[in-house]
Structure 1
Amino acid sequence: MAEVHSKVSPLTAAGIASLPFETFLQIFTSLPGDDIIHFLSTCSSYHALASDESIWRELCLRYGVHDLAAFRRNGTHHTFYSVYSGLLHTYGPLLGLWASDIPFHGAILEFRVVTEEEAGWVGIVGEVWIWEEDDWEEDSDSDEDEGSMVATDPYSPCYYECLRIELVQSAADHASTRFTRVLHRKHADTHGKKDPVLQTIRRGVRLNSPHKQAFYVLNGFIGEESRSHLHPQFPPECLQTLCRDTARLPRLVARDEQPVDHRRHLVNLKYLGHGDGVPLLYYAPSPEDFSTSHSVSIIPPLSAVDSRRYHNHVSPRKYDLPDMMSASIMAFMDTVSAKPAYTGHYFPLPRLPARRPPPGPEHDPLPNRWSLVKRLEGLWVSHSPNGVVASEVVYIHWEEGTCEVQAWKVTGSDCMPRGALSWKFDSLAPAAPADYQRFLTGMAIDVEGRSQDSLLHVYKGIGHTTRSLGYTEEVREREVVVVVVSEDEIRIRWAGVDDLDEPFPEVSTCRRCFERDVARETVSAQCIRRPAQRT
């Protein structure tokens, strides 16, 4: 088959080249970029086609680049050909959201094309989603009984730059890329007191082959009571199909990596001063039945100090339990482990939908219950005002075989980590809203005042909780009442959990994630953007 593609007879080539140009364009719209480039390079008869901007414009459109206005600032004169060949062909598949498998909390990384003029450069920027939880807005007007049931709306994160993939014009119609690492001195610094450090680097992103890295938590006891617990697999199974889509991977050579293995240190726990039931995180190869896919990693700095700072930036939420890597460094001055042993694998997440305009007087009819639950699938922000972590990202999945709606954690906490199932309900068994009027009133939902055709569905479901730091105990199932307020909002009322050691949110609210409106965002400090409005 390879010979058929690489050896085209002059007669065949001449015949193909004589086709109308519009026919080529029509054919190319259904071909991947790799196949188009391969086709144009097979014979000199096709070289004239390659000089036509229409081909490269169509390829740029696939990555959301509709015009060249953003690429012709600051004295540059990029063409669709230079933008695609120099930037989008290799790094365009990065555009969108990626989730990290860093233990417990995980992280969200977003790549987008730079369109704002004030940036002063053109290319692709990588930004970390960071929530500033001191911006919570509690409802202080409610009385004590109902106040605990009022759900604070989730809000959009701030966006902190971590990597720039800059398109640099190098010749008449050629371009190259330049990588810049962005080191923030302090996450909470949004007032410009400490500008970030910009470092020009040779490479910024690595494509990983499927890996065998896993995470375990030791229950902290030594001897016969010692138990290791496998951290949840990430991504969860419902996202594995997307992760196997090669169209979401940058066109780089995949690299193999050996898993970090801390098991040799487990025999030295007494010398590490560890025990007394305090959980301990350690890294080791994954079980044979764990399946992973390709992923990307952000290449950290070589300097130990900068590496730690950069790691703290791309993984902004820290788990509270000790880990074997830090313990072995302190106890044995293990120089092999002194550098960050693990920088995280990032896996692609689904594309975010565009925000829908509010319905007009002649809006489309509301979806029925059956079609509604299917349309819930996607990324959501879950906000729990009394939670250990206020705002988390979940992926709501429609399980066709069981007709279940499931919420899987994309980011998590020390107790319920990323990759764990948060809650679920059976879409075939709706409840009557009137039976839950007290709960709905506490959620500020007016049942009686809603019109008959308004969208409000109630379900009894199961929520998963645990009181153990480190996710080392069996998950408890709790009754939840799931209220589908609209296609873009869900509220969850959790049953009483007074027997848990830590307070648990009574009500959490989920809001669907939409595409960002970058034009309306504000720059609160260098390399930090704030959303125009809370979602």
Structure 2
Amino acid sequence: MEFRILTESSDWQGIIGEIWRFKGAPNDRNNPILPSYWQFLQIRLPELPETPIPKLATLSWFLREEQKRDWVDHRLVSIDPTLHVFSPTTEQVVFFWHGRNPSQGVIHPDFGEPGGSPWYDERPRLPRLRVEPSVVSNPSPGHLMPRPAFSPALTSAPGQVRKPKALSIILPYHNDPSHLFVPLQPFPDTRHTQTKTFQFPSRYYPLRFSQSNPNHEPILTNDTNEAWPASELEGLWLGSYGPHGTEVLYLHSPEECRINAWKVTGDVNVPRGVITWRFHSRYQTGPECIPPAAGLDSLPESCRIFKGSAHVCGTGFIPALESWIDCIVVVFDRDDIKVYWESLRHTSRYRRYKGRDISLETVPNESDSGIRVPPVWD
């Protein structure tokens, strides 16, 4: 989710809220794509008043579907949701699965931990709304039953880590098509169905956006023995994860010579809030360690090659299925990295997200200016 000040030509002034939507060609699973930007909110600022009496801003909401579904009652969509700022909470996601034995659960990593999440922007960036008490649930496996054997689901429970204030979007009635307003999940999210009136809100946190080296001085040279600062790689990145598509990462250098790639968005195997791969710049190697299956032939002399480790797991991030495997990290420059997952025999690409140039974006549908598409990465 992104909020920006309206800069394109328009008859009004204000703020636009947009959702990042990753939709690429299914035949290219090795390269990330830039998101398209789908408008869901307009905050129209009033004209400067002629009197000292202030005027209220106007909020407009937009709902879009890629495919028309007759079972959605679009009359309810006209009932606008509302923006809220919720207080700090210890609530966290729990993944439940059902087998022959009683239901078991796995607590997913905390997301939004102050000081423990390098991607979290601690500056005061939330709207100046009244802070409301966070929704607290106390579910048990029983409220998930009965369910078919081996069927997974998400729920929530109190945790140990206190997460900061967050922005949320709340629908006025439980019968609204709430699935259209929340992130897509590959399995049921029971937080939204525990009772007829209970609605567990999603929490949105501000992200850091660092773009190192504004002078564009090269960090890599043909002298592969020359030291270079790993911190030059810090910032938001987009990475390819095969059938899961493009995911958002934050590369962080917690100490000299070390890089951790944190997931800001995740998938059913390795969720958000987890290190997906890591390497130490002292463990530099050469192209002779790269097998032909990696498809990394004819590498430029200026690239750096490192031995690292990558995080893999089965569905649900269950500890019994979790492991670290060897990987090879090829740093082409500050904006382009490829990782070869050795035991998976798969190479994925990661590219720095540099922000947007509104002037280069296109509007595919002339009748709907709320969907903007950036130029395709070369």
Question: Matched residues in 2 for 1:310 and 1:297: separation?
Answer: 11
SS in 1 for 2:228: helix
The alignment status of 1:305 with 2:197, answered yes or no, reads: no
| Deviation digits for residues 304-326 of structure 1 (CA, Å, limit 9, x no counterpart) | 22434333xxx2x322x334357
The alignment status of 1:517 with 2:357, answered yes or no, reads: yes
Specify the alignment match of 2:375 in structure 1.
532
Question: Matched residues in 2 for 1:326 and 1:303: separation?
Answer: 9
Specify the alignment match of 1:67 in structure 2.
none
- The letter of the residue matching 2:2 is E
Q: Is the 8 A contact 1:182 1:198 kept in 2?
A: no
- The letter of the residue matching 1:318 is Q
| Deviation digits for residues 132-179 of structure 1 (CA, Å, limit 9, x no counterpart) | 13x2454xxxxxxxxxxxx74321111011111111116227654111
The alignment status of 1:418 with 2:272, answered yes or no, reads: yes
| Deviation digits for residues 395-446 of structure 1 (CA, Å, limit 9, x no counterpart) | 1111217x43111111111111111221111222111234337466x13x52
Task: Name whichever structure is richer in strand by fraction.
Answer: 2
- TM-score, scaled relative to structure 2: 0.84
| Deviation digits for residues 202-239 of structure 1 (CA, Å, limit 9, x no counterpart) | x843222211211112231365x543210111136766
Q: Is the 8 A contact 2:113 2:163 kept in 1?
A: no
Question: Matched residues in 2 for 1:364 and 1:292: separation?
Answer: 38
Specify the alignment match of 1:393 in structure 2.
248
> Which of 174, 182, 204 is the equivalent residue of 2:62?
182
Q: Is the 8 A contact 1:397 1:407 kept in 2?
A: yes
Q: Is the 8 A contact 2:112 2:164 kept in 1?
A: no
Aligned CA distance change for structure 1 residues 228 and 517 (closer, same or farther; 3 Å) = same
> Which of 113, 117, 136 is the equivalent residue of 2:5?
113
Question: Matched residues in 1 for 2:84 and 2:249: separation?
Answer: 26
Specify the alignment match of 2:196 in structure 1.
335
Q: Is the 8 A contact 2:260 2:275 kept in 1?
A: yes
- Percent identity (aligned): 26
Q: Equivalent residues in 2 for 1:135-146 (5 A)?
A: 135-136=25-26, 138=28
> Which of 163, 166, 170 is the equivalent residue of 1:295?
166
> Which of 433, 437, 451 is the equivalent residue of 2:287?
433
Aligned CA distance change for structure 1 residues 177 and 379 (closer, same or farther; 3 Å) = same
Question: Matched residues in 2 for 1:267 and 1:437: separation?
Answer: 50
Q: Equivalent residues in 2 for 1:175-254 (5 A)?
A: 176-184=56-64, 186-187=65-66, 204-221=82-99, 226-235=103-112, 240=117, 243=120, 245-254=122-131
Q: Which runs of 5+ in 1 are unaligned?
A: 1-108, 139-150, 190-194, 329-333, 498-504
- The letter of the residue matching 1:324 is T
Question: Matched residues in 2 for 1:322 and 1:428: separation?
Answer: 44
Question: Matched residues in 2 for 1:216 and 1:427: separation?
Answer: 35
The alignment status of 1:446 with 2:298, answered yes or no, reads: yes
Specify the alignment match of 2:22 in structure 1.
131
Aligned CA distance change for structure 1 residues 157 and 244 (closer, same or farther; 3 Å) = closer
Question: Matched residues in 2 for 1:327 and 1:199: separation?
Answer: 22
Task: Name whichever structure is richer in helix by fraction.
Answer: 1
TM-superposed deviation, 1:354: 9.3
Question: Matched residues in 2 for 1:372 and 1:163: separation?
Answer: 40
Question: Matched residues in 2 for 1:170 and 1:280: separation?
Answer: 50
Who wins on radius of gyration, i.e. which is larger? 1
Specify the alignment match of 1:374 in structure 2.
231
Aligned CA distance change for structure 1 residues 222 and 237 (closer, same or farther; 3 Å) = farther
| Deviation digits for residues 465-488 of structure 1 (CA, Å, limit 9, x no counterpart) | 112x22223311111111001110
Specify the alignment match of 2:71 in structure 1.
none
- The letter of the residue matching 1:534 is W
TM-superposed deviation, 1:507: 0.9
Q: CA RMSD in A?
A: 3.3
Q: How many residues align?
A: 364
Specify the alignment match of 1:473 in structure 2.
319
